[in-house]
Chain A
């Protein structure tokens, strides 16, 4: 295979080598966090974490554990770099990202270290594509300091039920208001648009609600423009955990099952809208 012959010569020089039989297992999960071009990659022996941020108010992380890869070799405790995510996605799907069963693009991703490009070897049906994507020094991701001990409310839902709500959201509303409460309305999404307001209420005993742990009534507003990108993650996921902490910060954790049935996670953190005082 050209794939192996081309990379073997340099094998020893790479600080990071990661291989996938199916490149979709990486490209799909990266699509769930594509709302800005710059993505921070940080690899440890546990796997790969990719972070995308918007203006210190929104952060998305995708986690791909080392076990997901057919090969995951890292020669340092941690390796970090920054690349253009849109470019990376175009490269990963160079052969079209086919969903036809049996047709997969295999991937070998190599990084030699600071100053070097991220090199991808992709192969499908005997055709090989080599991509060299320029890298930058990674920025330090923002710490949202979202601690599970400070979580006041938590609801786990089947993604299916939220997908409909998110696809119908009134985009003329500047904010999405989330209410979680031990009493009615339990879990409510509200918008306030040009032509009126809308409330979507989920009863806590709905078949769509897997876990309901609300300790106090909390209503927070989040900028619609910030939450909109998370719809991509929602679309890919099968379950979503919605949590808020005492500061009103929102954490959305998505459980994503890949083509091979393995589980990965995508996580969004979002600051509450400042203009609204906490209730």
Chain B
């Protein structure tokens, strides 16, 4: 492979790599006929991201036709090439990327102002194809929104927050922080935040299934950094809880897909979900009465309440008297954080037969099941709760030794 990136596109490429670094530790690089694919997947396989830069993105793009070549390397080392993001635009005039399969060397040459030439020779490992399978078009819900709207939304959530829940009605979208209901006490101390957006804030709003999904916020933030810098809208495709959500950014020379696992709904809670959907529908018919908190801004009296004060419970424990049944909204956040649904494994251009998985709705996560499939790969990631399975080949190559290859 031999390609050249110039001008503002150098920064786009750099931003893409920084964005991918929010996903995983390794960068999978694959020069394809239809462009350069940069991918990453997280250690628990619950998040996958792919940036495909079309040949037109480059001022020169050539790949040896006929034989597929793929490699992977530590994403940190590629990030280091583009370390000074801020000054990149001012200093770098041209970036030349060259892949030498014989020497196992990927070279980034940055031609900078004042004739300074920065050459980074990175070692890499061969890798199999990394592909997540998803079908955006068959998703029941499709939203498209300017990145600024999402940036202004996630800013309300603490950086430490891991997961966010997105709920849909015909006319609105709610973002809430997802709090795990492990120890009842610690849960009660967590601040709950909820943000409501009206459908007309979206460029496109097509909702067929009014449901809620919960996914990791970190990756969304990663994509937002990229989308905001390029000013491209973000599309969001999803179905029911447990099925992955796909976040996409596209333009004529670029296609970005983030595939994130979502928490599966416990069957016992599905009822609640339905109830809540009904509540939403009810609200539609009668805008004034609004049962879920998102609208409580408009009617204060309903949620002001009396606390019986004669119980003399010391502070520290809850002195609020017997807990009243939680509202439908918060019941949702009590659901177990168990990932039970996986995207179907997929092998691209490979003969290996993929194992068919059945939905596993038990909790706690079935570790036996996992170790069977992922073997040593998951030795260090056993606490992970949700995963998207990518192709088997990836897993195989991942179990190789670490990438401490010697420099030439």
* Touching chains A and B, CB distance < 8 Å: yes
Chain B binder among A200-208, A211-219, A240-248: A200-208
Could you tell me the distance in whole angstroms from the C-beta of A224 to the nearest C-beta in chain B?
A: 14
Interface pairs (23), CB distance under 8 Å = A161-B114, A164-B84, A168-B80, A168-B83, A192-B407, A193-B407, A194-B74, A195-B76, A195-B123, A196-B120, A196-B123, A197-B121, A198-B118, A198-B121, A199-B121, A200-B116, A201-B116, A201-B118, A201-B119, A202-B115, A202-B116, A206-B114, A206-B116
Cβ of A167 within 8 Å of any chain B Cβ, yes or no, is: yes
| Residues of B84-110 contacting chain A, CB below 8 A | 84, 87, 91, 105
Partner of B119, one of A170, A199, A206: A199
Chain A residues near B120 (CB, 8 Å)? Answer: 196-198
Q: B404 in the interface, Cβ–Cβ < 8 Å?
A: yes
CA distance A224 to B290 in the complex (A): 64
| A197 partner, pick from B74, B91, B403, B407, beta carbons under 8 A | B407
Known interface pairs A164-B87, A196-B122; A208-B114 also in contact (CB < 8 Å) = yes
* Given A196-B105, A199-B119, A207-B114, 18 other A-B residues pairs in contact with their CB atoms under 8 A: A164-B84, A164-B87, A164-B91, A168-B118, A195-B76, A196-B120, A196-B121, A196-B123, A197-B407, A198-B118, A198-B121, A201-B118, A201-B119, A202-B114, A203-B117, A206-B114, A208-B114, A208-B116
Q: Does B73 contact A (CB under 8 A)?
A: yes
Is the beta-carbon distance between A194 and B404 smaller than 8 angstroms? yes
- Chain B residue numbers with a CB within 8 Å of A192 are 407
CA distance A199 to B117 in the complex (A): 8
B77 within 8 A of A: yes
Please report the C-alpha to C-alpha distance between residue A164 and residue B116 in the assembled complex, in whole angstroms: 11
Q: What chain B residues lie within 8 Å of A208 (beta carbons)?
A: 114, 116
Q: Which residues of B sit under 8 angstroms from A202, Cβ to Cβ? A: 114-116
In whole angstroms, what is the CA distance A168 to B83 when docked?
A: 7
CA distance A194 to B77 in the complex (A): 8
Indicate if B326 sits at the interface (CB-CB under 8 A).
no
Q: Would A195 and B114 be within 8 Å (CB), given that A168-B80, A168-B84, A201-B119 are in contact?
A: no
A163-212 at interface with B (beta carbon < 8 Å): 164-165, 167-168, 170, 192-203, 205-208
The distance in angstroms between the C-alpha atoms of A150 and B257, with both chains bound, is 60
A196:B83 contact, CB within 8 angstroms? no
Q: Which 3 residue pairs across A and B have the least CB separation, nearest first?
A: A195-B77, A196-B122, A203-B115
- Kindly count the residue-residue contacts between A and B in the assembled complex, taking CB atoms under 8 Å apart: 70
Instruction: Return the chain B residue nearest A170 by Cβ.
Output: B80
**Chain B residues positioned under 8 Å from A200 (CB to CB):** 116-119
Q: Give the chain B neighbours of A170 by CB distance below 8 A.
A: 80
B-contacting residues, A126-147, CB 8 Å:
none
Cα distance A161–B77 in the bound complex, in angstroms: 22
Q: Mark A110-130, 1 if CB is under 8 A from B, else 0.
A: 000000000000000000000
How big is the B interface, by class?
20 to 34
**Among the listed A167, A194, A198, A206, which residue makes an inter-chain contact with B84, where contact means beta carbons less than 8 Å apart?**
A167
B408 interfacial contact with A, CB 8 Å: yes
Most chain A CB neighbours (cut-off 10 Å) among B105, B117, B408:
B117
CA of A208 to CA of B113 in the docked complex: distance in angstroms?
10
From the candidates A164, A193, A206, name the one contacting B115 in the complex (CB within 8 A). A206
Residues of A within 8 A of B121 (CB): 196-199
Looking at chain A's contact residues, the main secondary structure is: mixed
Interface residues in A93-109 by Cβ distance below 8 A to B read none
Q: Name which residue of chain B comes closest to A167, CB basis.
A: B84
Q: A residues within 8 A CB of B122? A: 195-196
Which residues of chain B come closer than 8 Å to A193, judged between CB atoms? 77, 407
Q: How many angstroms between the C-alpha atoms of A198 and B77 in the bound complex?
A: 11
User: Which of chain B's residues have a CB closer than 8 A to the CB of A161?
Assistant: 114, 116
How far is it, in angstroms, between the C-alpha of A203 and the C-alpha of B118 when the chains are bound?
Answer: 12
Q: Cα distance A194–B405 when bound, in Å?
A: 7
Chain A minimum-CB-distance residue to B408:
A197
Cβ-neighbour of A196 out of B84, B115, B117, B407 (below 8 A): B407
Residues of A within 8 A of B123 (CB): 195-196
In the complex formed, the residue of B with least CB distance to A204 is B115
- A195 near B403 (CB under 8 angstroms)? yes
Q: Decide: B407 and A205 in contact? CB cutoff 8 A.
A: no
Chain A nearest Cβ from B208, distance in angstroms? 46
Instruction: Please report the C-alpha to C-alpha distance between residue A202 and residue B120 in the assembled complex, in whole angstroms.
Output: 15
**Contact partners of A165 in chain B: CB under 8 A:** 116, 118
Q: What's the least CB distance linking B360 to chain A, in Å?
A: 38
Return the CB mask of B390-408 against A: 1 if under 8 Å, else 0: 0000000000000110011
User: What is the CB-to-nearest-CB distance from B146 to chain A, in angstroms, rounded to a whole number?
Assistant: 33
CA distance A202 to B111 in the complex (A): 11
Residues 59-93 (chain B) with a chain A CB within 8 angstroms: 73-74, 76-77, 80, 83-84, 87, 91
Please give, as numbers and ranges, the residues of chain B lying within 8 Å of A205 by CB-CB distance. Answer: 115
Which chain A residue has the least Cβ–Cβ distance from B75?
A: A195
Q: Are B74 and A195 in contact (CB under 8 A)?
A: yes
Q: Give the CA-CA distance A202 to B404 in the complex, in Å.
A: 29
A167 cross-chain contacts in B, Cβ below 8 A:
83-84
Q: Name the residue on B nearest A197 (C-beta).
A: B407
Q: Could you tell me if A195 and B118 are in contact, using CB atoms closer than 8 angstroms?
A: no
Q: Considering only CB atoms, which chain B residue lies closest to A173 in the complex? A: B407
Residues from chain B with Cβ under 8 Å of A206 in the complex: 114-116
CB-CB < 8 A to B117: which residues of A?
Answer: 199-201, 203
- As a 0/1 sequence over residues 297 to 312 of chain B, the CB contacts with chain A under 8 angstroms (1 = contact) are 0000000000000000
Question: Could you tell me the distance in whole angstroms from the C-beta of A3 to the nearest C-beta in chain B?
Answer: 43
CA distance A167 to B74 in the complex (A): 20
User: How far apart are the CA atoms of A203 and B91 in the complex, in Å?
Assistant: 16
Q: List chain B residues, Cβ under 8 A from A203.
A: 115-117
Closest A residue to B76 by CB, please name it.
A195
What is the minimal beta-carbon distance from B95 to any residue of chain A, in angstroms?
Answer: 14
In the complex, what distance in Å separates the CA atom of A192 from the CA atom of B408?
9
A168's nearest neighbour on chain B, judged by CB, is: B83
